[in-house]
Amino acid sequence: MIIKQNETISSFQLFFYMVIVQLNVATLTLPMYLYKESGHDGWISLLFSCLFSVCTIVLYSFLLKRFPNLTIFEICTFFFGKWFGGILKICYILYFIFVAYLINQSYLFVFSKWVFPNSPTWGILLLLLIIGIYLGKENIRTMTRFFQLSFWTFLVIFIFSIEAFQQVDWKLLLPVAQVNFSHILKGSYMSYYFLHGFECLLVVYPFVKGSHRKKIKSSIFSILVITLINLFTVVLCFIFFSKKELQLIPEPTIYIFKTLTFFKELERLDLLFLSVWFVIIASSYVSYLNLANIGISNLIKRGNRLSTFSTITICIIVFLIGNFVPSSTGFIDLLIKTLSISSFIFILFIPTLILCISLLFKIKSKEVKLS
C-alpha cells in the first residue's frame, strides 16, 4: 500500500484517534444496560471487558506485525483472492457504515428526547449530515487534529459531576460480586461490543508512523482511558440512583446532570452537557465514515474525488434512512443486537482466522515505502 507522507499520523495522535472512535452515545446508556445484566456489579463487568479489549489488541498486534503496510481491506484480498476478498471488503465497508448509522440513530433518539423534543427529525439529522460531509472526506491526519481538540471535551463529565458526589451512597455498591459470574460475563460481553471502536486499528495502522511497539502501546492506553471514563460514569450512576431507579432510567448519566446545579449558578446541566457531548458524537460518527471511505477507495482504486463523492453519498443515505425509519427504544435495541453479532464477526472472527492462516503457512508481507 502506497501512503503519502501528508496522510500519516504519529503514534501519539493514534491515541486520540482511537479514544474518539470509542466514545459515542453508548456511554450515556451503558450504566442501565450493565445494571440489567450484572446488577450493581456491572463495574466488574466493565473491567472484564477492558481485559477482553486489550487481549483483542494483542491479537491484532500479531496480525499487523506480519502485515505492517496493509489495511484489513488489502489483507482480505491478499488471503482470499480478488472475488471472495472483495466480498469481505464490501462487508467491512457495510459494517463501518452500519456503525455510523447506529451512532446517527442513537444521536437522534437521545437529542430529540432531551434537547429538541419539538424539532423535526430532518432538522436534527441535518447537523450530522453537514459535519459528516465537511469532515468525513478529509484524510486521517486532518481528522486526527480535530480529534485532538475534541478529546478534551470529555472533561465536562468530571467537572459537572463534582456536585453529584454530595448526594451519593457508596453502600449501594455492596455486597461486591453478589450476582453469578455468568451474569458478570454477560455484562462484560455487552460492554465489549457496546464500547467497540478499537477495530479501527485494522485500518489506520499503516497510516501511523513509529515502531510497532509504540502503536500497540497507544492503542492499549486508549482502551485503558476509555475504561476509566466509563468506569467513572457507571460507578457514579450506581451510587447516585437506587436499584429500582436504575431499572427504569434509560439515560442515567443525563438524569444526574438534570438534577444538579453547578455551584448554584448553572441549572439544567443536562442541556449544556449534551451540547458539549455532541462534539464527541460527531467525531465518532465522522471517524466511521472515514473508515468506510478508505475501504471504498481501496475497492475501486480511485483518489480524492471518489472520497468526496462516497462521503456525500453515505451521509445522504444515512440521513434519508434516519428520516424514514422511526427511532424508538425497541428499534435501538434491535440495532444493538445486530451490532453484537456483526462485531463478533468483524472484530474477532475474521482477524483471528487470517492470523491462524498466516501462522500456519508462515505468510508475511513485504515492506512498502512511503511516498
pTM of the model: 0.90
The secondary structure element, H or E, covering residue 33 is helix 26-38
Q: Can you list the pairs that 163-169 forms with residues at least 24 positions away whose Cβ atoms lie under 8 Å?
A: 163/260, 163/261, 163/262, 163/263, 164/236, 164/240, 164/256, 164/260, 165/236, 167/240, 168/236, 168/239, 168/240, 169/239
Calpha distance 23→226 (Å, rounded): 7
**What sections of 241-268 are H helices per DSSP?**
243-248, 252-258
Poorest-pLDDT segment among 57-66, 112-121, 197-206: 112-121
| DSSP letter string, 49-116 | HHHHHHHHHHHHHHHHHHSTT--HHHHHHHHHHHHHHHHHHHHHHHHHHHHHHHHHHHHHHHHHHHT-
Asked if the model's pLDDT at residue 366 lies above 60, the reply is no
Chain position carrying cell 472533561:
155
Give the mean pLDDT of 318-324: 86
Residue 370 DSSP class: -
The DSSP bridge partners found for residue 266 are 262
Q: What is the mean pLDDT of the chain?
A: 85
Identify the pLDDT of residue 264: 64
Calpha distance 23→39 (Å, rounded): 23
- DSSP SS3 for 266: strand
Most confident of 10-19, 139-148, 315-324: 10-19
Identify the pLDDT of residue 177: 79
Question: Domains (ranges, CATH) in the chain?
Answer: 13-361 (1.20.1740.10)
Sign of CA dihedral 8, 95, 182, 243: positive
Place 340 in a pLDDT band, splitting at 50, 70 and 90. confident
Poorest-pLDDT segment among 58-62, 211-215, 233-237, 256-260: 256-260
Angle 329-343/72-114 helices, nearest 10 degrees?
A: 160
Give pLDDT tens digits for 247-282: 888 888 888 888 777 666 667 777 878 888 888 888
Identify the pLDDT of residue 311: 85
Dihedral through CA 69, CA 148, CA 213, CA 191, nearest 10? -100
The secondary structure element, H or E, covering residue 10 is strand 9-10
The secondary structure element, H or E, covering residue 37 is helix 26-38
- DSSP SS3 for 175: coil
Chain position carrying cell 468506510:
292
C-alpha cell at 187: 455484562
Asked if the model's pLDDT at residue 289 lies above 80, the reply is yes
Residues 6+ apart with CB under 8 A from 195: 22, 26, 27, 30, 49, 53, 226, 230
Q: Answer for the pair 315, 133: CB distance below 8 angstroms, yes or no.
A: yes
Identify the pLDDT of residue 365: 66
Identify the pLDDT of residue 303: 55
The pair phi, psi for residue 311, each rounded to 5°, is -65, -45
Identify the pLDDT of residue 2: 63
Residue 161 DSSP class: T
Give the mean pLDDT of 316-326: 85
Asked if the model's pLDDT at residue 179 lies above 60, the reply is yes
Place 164 in a pLDDT band, splitting at 50, 70 and 90. confident
Calpha distance 62→355 (Å, rounded): 7
